[in-house]
Chains A and B, each alone.
Chain A
Amino acid sequence: AQKVTQAQTEISVVEKEDVTLDCVYETRDTTYYLFWYKQPPSGELVFLIRRNSFDEQNEISGRYSWNFQKSTSSFNFTITASQVVDSAVYFCALSEMGTNAGKSTFGDGTTLTVKP
């Protein structure tokens, strides 16, 4: 069975601080996809990134960066110079290769609060 663990339930930072959200996963599959989604206070789910299990290159998109380490089954998400608008719940998710993206196993989420 697949499992995604986001050990940090809540994180609070002051604006402009860097913050890293941890994600650890378990799967018996050798190939899989990992995702991060953002859920702002308005409630919708916003896709942030998808990573293939065979691509361990780190990725940077503006203030966001992701560190995928297959050896430790981790897919951590870093926000650099955080802003108040980054306040949201962030979900890490895992899906099998060959099945579609929506049929994913989600972590319980990390609530990030960025204070001005």
Chain B
Amino acid sequence: NAGVTQTPKFRVLKTGQSMTLLCAQDMNHEYMYWYRQDPGMGLRLIHYSVGEGTTAKGEVPDGYNVSRLKKQNFLLGLESAAPSQTSVYFCASSRQTGTNTEAFFGQGTRLTVV
């Protein structure tokens, strides 16, 4: 019963490097999300997906790209990392139903860009 799994858990990047964060969920959820959490702040939505093959921009999408090639996976890419992208990244998933449900979150990925 893994739930939502994020890979990796920690990463240090140099400015300008690229990387991909992987989110995998085993709950057959339609919706998936990427958030970032900065110190002293709540979560801010980067991108989200309402189904396989679909993605949409959230509140803070600049500098990130996403892909949802498989229903269970949602990838977050940084093409050219910047120090401003130092943050903790959370992936979440939720069901698509007629009524709203809670989101299930991964453990987070702590990214430092130097």
Contacts and interface: CB of A to CB of B under 8 A. Distances in A.
A102 B94 contact: yes
A51 to B, nearest CB: 10
Nearest to A111: B40
Interface in B84-114: 88, 90, 92-96, 100-108
Contacts of A52: 100
Contacts of B106: 44
A44 B30 CA distance: 21
Interface in B62-95: 88, 90, 92-95
Interface string B12-31: 00000000000000000011
Contact of B103 (A43, A47, A108, A109): A47
A100 B96 contact: yes
Contacts of A95: 100
A26 B18 CA distance: 37
Contact of B42 (A4, A33, A43): A4
Interface string A74-116: 0000000000000000010101010111111011110000000
B102 A50 contact: yes
Contacts of A25: none
B90 to A, nearest CB: 7
Contacts of B45: 103-104
Contact of B100 (A9, A43, A47, A100): A100
A67 B91 CA distance: 29
A45 interface: yes
Nearest to A31: B100
A68 interface: no
Please give me the 9 A-B residue pairs with the lowest Cβ-Cβ distance, nearest first: A106-B42, A102-B103, A45-B105, A102-B33, A47-B102, A102-B92, A100-B31, A106-B43, A101-B94
23 contacts: A43-B108, A45-B90, A45-B92, A45-B105, A47-B104, A91-B42, A93-B42, A93-B43, A99-B100, A100-B94, A100-B100, A102-B32, A102-B33, A102-B92, A102-B93, A103-B45, A104-B43, A104-B103, A106-B42, A106-B43, A108-B40, A109-B40, A109-B42
